[in-house]
Structures are given as C-alpha cells and as structure tokens.
A and B are shown apart, each in its own frame.
Chain A
Amino acid sequence: MKLASRLLLTLAVLALALRAQDTIKVGEYASLTGKEASFGQQSHKGLTLAIEELNAAGGVLGKKIELITEDNQTKPGESATAVKKLISRDKVVALIGEVASGRSLEAAPIAQAAKIPMIAPAATNPKVTQTGNYIFRVCFIDPFQGTVMAKFAQTDLKAKKVAVLSSVSNAYSVGLAKFFKETFTANGGIIVSEKNFSEGDKDFRAQLTAVKAAGADAVFVPSYYTEAALIARQARDLGINVPFFGGDGWVADQLLEIGGEALNGCYYSTHFSPENQDPVVQTFVKKFKARWGANENPDAFAALGYDAAYVLVDAIKRAGSTEGPKLRNALALTKNFAGVTGVTNIDANRDASKPAAIIAIKNGKLEFLKTVAP
C-alpha cells in the first residue's frame, strides 16, 4: 500500500514535470491593483488577448505559451520580489512589464543579471533600457514625448510662459519634466514656475496657488492620472483656467472619472488612440471588446501589452529557441514589425521609435487630435 502510494506520487510529480515542459512560460508583472491599477489591468488584458490568440493559432515552436502574472500592487519594492519569483521559481523565459518606468527600473537589473530578456510595454524613461542589453521596450521614450509636448505647447497652445508641476518620487515624471523643459526653453519658451509634489499627495493647492501667481499660459503636468485629475480639479477651484497638458501617464478611464469637467480643454500625448480609424486599430478594438466585454475600451497600454507579446513571440520564432542569449539577439534584430501601435523597429539602444498621438479633452470626452511622427 505504501509502495503504491509512493509510486502514484512519483508518477504525479513526473506528469507535472512533463506538463511543465510542454509550455513556454512568459512572466508578467503589472500593477493590477492599487493606485495605478488601470495601467496594469489594461496591459494585462492586451497581453492576455495576444497570448490567447497565439495559442489558438498553435503557439510557438510547437508549444503553447503560458502566461504567469504577478501583481505588484503599485507598491515600490514589490516588482523586484515578483520578478525574482518569476525567474527563480517559475523559470520564465522572458518577462513583460511594466507600464510605469519606476517599477520597470526596479525589475530591470534582476532580469539583466539573470540574462532573461525583458520587454517593457510602456515604460518611457530612457534609463529603463540603459540598465543592460537584455532590456527592451516597444514604445517611444520621454525625450521624444517631451519634445512633442514642448512643440505642441508652442505652436498649438501658443504658450510662451509655462509652469511645470511634477512628482519628485516618480522616475517617469522627473524625466519627462526635464526633457520638456530642455526643448521648451531651447525654442525660446519660458518656464515661469516649477513646483514639485510626491507620489500619493492629494493636496496640490499650495503649488497651484504659486503657479497662479506666476501667470502661466499653460501648465505641464507629467504625472500619472490620479494626480493629474486632482490637480486639474483643484486648479479650477482656485480659478486657474489655462489649459493643462501631460504625457501618456494620463491614460486611464479614471482620469475623466476623477477630474470631470475640470479637464475640459486639457491635452495629453499617448502611444495609441482607439478613436484612430486605421483598420488595424479598429480590428484590435473589436477583438478586445469581444474578449473583455462591450464596455471595455482598450487604451494605449492594452495595445502596447498586445504588441509586446507579439514582438516577443516573433523573436522566439526567429531565434528557434527560448534560451536567454539567443532570444535577446533575436529581439535586438526586430525590424519593421507591424503591430496595432504602429511599426516597431528596435534600435541600438533597444528602444522603439514610434509616433505619438495627441488627445484633446472636450466636453468630458477624449478626441483624437493628431499624430506626430518621430
């Protein structure tokens, strides 16, 4: 009896081991809950959709792809733990994450040390891929986004004096503010006021009162959506009626939910607009709604998560292997890969140069304004 049960156990373990061999494991770490839950939820849904499609089409290298997802709860420190677990316990062959630059920067050194390729769907801070040669991204970087918004402020908003309000404890915000200021002042603009806050702050009246006194024509807020929405509301309460504008950190349904009317006449730049009538985009929107429900709208991060999965699988196919170094080399050679967010070309810095879309908020709705080519 004892022998039989032992035999059964051995068989079960063997079966598990065999099953594990059957799939290619891809690790995902994302902010599924917490302050920036919208980022993680969207990229996760885009990524899951892509993996399901790929598996339905037969997977890759004759194997199915298994997505293992870890939630970092939007907390600093959690991404490192999640990524360590994915690499050492789950033995993933590649990592996909994160939307936020700060959390990508936490995970990148660990992926680099383990020689596991990591693709950040939407981390735009240049430092992320500078961590090492195993770190890639499928989106544009902040020097480009900063330039786009600086030019937009000067030509479209006709702003000469701009105030900047950024978050000091957020790598994305600090970087984007810096790149914006460089281009804006180089082109003859004046930064009249520069104020900072910390992640999780909710009271911005002090900074905004100072901004009001400085008499800016427009206010640049390179923060994430919760802060941007609260800033806009408090600014309108204080009688600041100039336009506010920001970057892709504003992308989330919660932006309009929290900000409401205060955001009318504001603008932001992003990677992708579901309002874009391009058939590729519209097909993606349809598939996304079919999978996640008619009320779910894919945003830029869903599209980038979707593209990240396809870029990864394309590289696995070309490498013919899931070994770290081979996969890395194949990823580095990604050229003219057509996805829903445009064509991805991985450059020497392992970044992608892609067009930026500018979105206007009018009457509580998002309107696609224009696309700026890189």
Chain B
Amino acid sequence: MSEFLQQLLNGLSLGAIYALIALGYTMVYGVLRFINFAHSDVFMVGAFIGYYLGKLVPEGTLWGGLLVLSGAMIGCALLGMFIERVVYRPLRHGPTLNVLITAIGVSLLLEYTGQIVFGAAPRTFPQIFPTANYHVGSLTISSNQVFVIGVAILLMIALQLIVFKTKIGTAMRAVSLNPKAAQLVGVNNNVVISFTFGLGSALAAAGGILYAMNYPSIDPLMGVMPGLKAFVAAILGGIGNIPGAALGGLLLGTVETFIGGSQFSTYKDAIAFAILIVILLFKPAGLLGKFTIEKV
C-alpha cells in the first residue's frame, strides 16, 4: 500500500510537469490550430535561464528561488512572443503545413543554437529552493515533489482565471472560436495571439525550472523527450482543451511511473504510448475533447 502511494506521488509530480508543458501546446493549438513544436525547446531555454539566474542569487532560499522562477518565466514569455512575431505571424495566412514545418525548424534552431551558446555537455542545475524530506508513515516526500505539484496547481488555477475571468481571456476564447468574427467585433487578434504565446511559454519555463529542480542535469536537448510526452498528454486530454491537457499530463506521468516500478520497467514508454493509442481508438478527440465547447 505504501509503495502504491509513493508511486502515485512520484507519478503526480512527474505528471504535473508534463501538464504544464502540455498547456502551452494546447493553448496555441486552441487559437491557431497548429502544433508549436518549438515549445519543448522554450522549456529547455527556461531551464537554462534558471541555471544562469540561479548563480546570481544565494542557493536554497525561497525568495531567490521565486526570483529565478519568475525571471525564467518572463524571459521565456518574451522569447515565445518574439518567435511568434518573427516566424509564425508572416505565415499566418499560409497553409497550416507550412507553419508546422517552420515550427520544427524553429525547434531545431533553438536546440542547436543552444548547443553552441550553452555547450553540448550536461550542466548541473543549482538547488535554487530550500530542500527537505518529510516522512509521513512509510512515505517519503521530498519538498521538491510537493513544490512541483503545488506550483503546477497554482499556475493552472491562475490560467483558468485568466482564460475565464479576464477580458483578454474572453478575447482568447473568441479568437479560438472564430478568428474572423472576433476581429469583426473589435478583438485585436495579433495582441491575443502574442499573449497566448507569452502565457504558454511562461508555463513552459516554469515546467523547465521544476523539471531541472527534480532532475538536476540539463542540456540543450533536454526538452525533446518531455516535449514529446507533453504533446502526447495534450492529445490524450483532447487538444485545445485546458483541463484536458492537465488531466492528460497527470495521467501519463502516473501510468509511466507505475509501469516503471513494475516488472515491465523495460517497456515503460512502449506501454505508456500503447495505452494512448487504445484511448484514442475509443475516444478519437481525447478524453475531454469535443464534448466541451470552451476552447482557448
């Protein structure tokens, strides 16, 4: 039983990171109907901004950690908006396939520029937040895990509030529903799309920092695997659907962890992805897709 609970906790903390990245995929898909493959590399840049900022603040302090976290989020939000403005906007009225291929190009550009700028060797991520281990019964909970789940939940609530309670959120939903009609009623699509990219990239940066805190070895290609898993999580939950992305991420992380701890650990990724295929066979739109109208 305690092993089950421990695995559940491990799975949720991994899933929370997938969920944060998946939100970025899903939001961009919601407004622009294309998969931003560069998203996983924005995640990597987030971790590296954290790495460099982390050297400037004292290690293991709460305010220092929060400063690094918000610094990386702002940095990546700007990067996301920059990419959208320079690369995607000129292609907005072209075929979706062109944008998709461009996104793959941007992804490779970031990865290999990263190898030149940051170096290809893995770096050790500093302990930016204070750490401790708590023992509850036979469970061992590390403060990092609690922190990851906590921050992920907070950010998801904040996102939900932005999308449903603010003017810009309403505009985002309007653009998602019908970009032309939104423009006719006076929504500035450019601003809304820029904002969506900024928001998604900030969440990716937060995911990057949380990931690096838990697995403190970072390199320019670190985004590839979590990015792929988060993309799968977004599809699993129903792409374009915010609660779906969160659900998909948590589900994928948990399933992966339980298989990893079982005798089938060799086939961890294979089984996790097979489950995805089965779910999509029965629910082609994803778990929460199609049936809800609110899309972002």
Contact = CB atoms under 8 A, between A and B. Distances in A.
Interface in A2-36: 33-35
Contacts of B258: 206
Interface string B262-277: 1001101100000000
Contacts, number: 92
The contact size tier of chain A is 20 to 34
B243 interface: no
Nearest to A214: B3
A205 B122 CA distance: 20
Interface in A180-204: 195-198, 200, 202-203
A206 B142 contact: no
Contacts of B256: 206
A203 B122 contact: no
Given A197-B260, A206-B10, A206-B261, A254 B124 contact: yes
Contact of B6 (A34, A230, A238): A238
B133 interface: yes
Contact of B265 (A197, A212, A233, A239): A197
A196 B261 CA distance: 9
A168 interface: yes
B217 A226 contact: yes
A233 B225 CA distance: 21
A202 B121 contact: no
Nearest to B119: A33
Contacts of A229: 217
B135 interface: yes
A258 B133 contact: no
A200 B225 CA distance: 9
Contact of A195 (B216, B257, B265): B265
Nearest to A257: B124
B15 to A, nearest CB: 11
Interface string B115-137: 10001111010000000010100
Contacts of B266: 168, 196
B227 to A, nearest CB: 13
B215 A230 contact: yes
A230 B217 contact: yes
B120 A206 contact: no
A213 interface: yes
Interface in B237-291: 256-262, 265-266, 268-269
B257 A38 contact: no
A236 to B, nearest CB: 8
- Chain A at the B interface: SS class: helix
A207 B121 contact: no
Contacts of B121: 33-34, 37-38, 254
Nearest to A211: B261
B222 to A, nearest CB: 8
B148 to A, nearest CB: 12
B140 A238 contact: yes
B108 to A, nearest CB: 14
Contacts of B211: 202
B137 to A, nearest CB: 12
Interface string B1-42: 011001100110010000000000000000000000000000
A53 interface: no
A38 B216 CA distance: 17
B219 interface: yes
Nearest to B140: A239
A275 interface: no
Given A206-B261, A207-B265, A35 B122 contact: yes
Given A33-B115, A258-B216, A206 B265 contact: yes
Given A34-B121, A257-B124, A206 B216 contact: no
Nearest to A203: B14
Nearest to A195: B265
B257 A205 contact: yes
A210 B261 contact: yes
Contacts of B201: none
B144 interface: yes
Interface of B: 2-3, 6-7, 10-11, 14, 115, 119-122, 124, 133, 135, 140, 142, 144, 211, 214-217, 219, 222, 225, 256-262, 265-266, 268-269
26 contacts: A33-B120, A33-B121, A34-B121, A34-B219, A35-B219, A37-B120, A38-B121, A195-B261, A195-B265, A196-B265, A197-B265, A200-B225, A202-B222, A203-B260, A206-B257, A207-B265, A210-B261, A212-B3, A230-B215, A237-B133, A238-B140, A239-B135, A239-B140, A254-B124, A257-B124, A258-B216
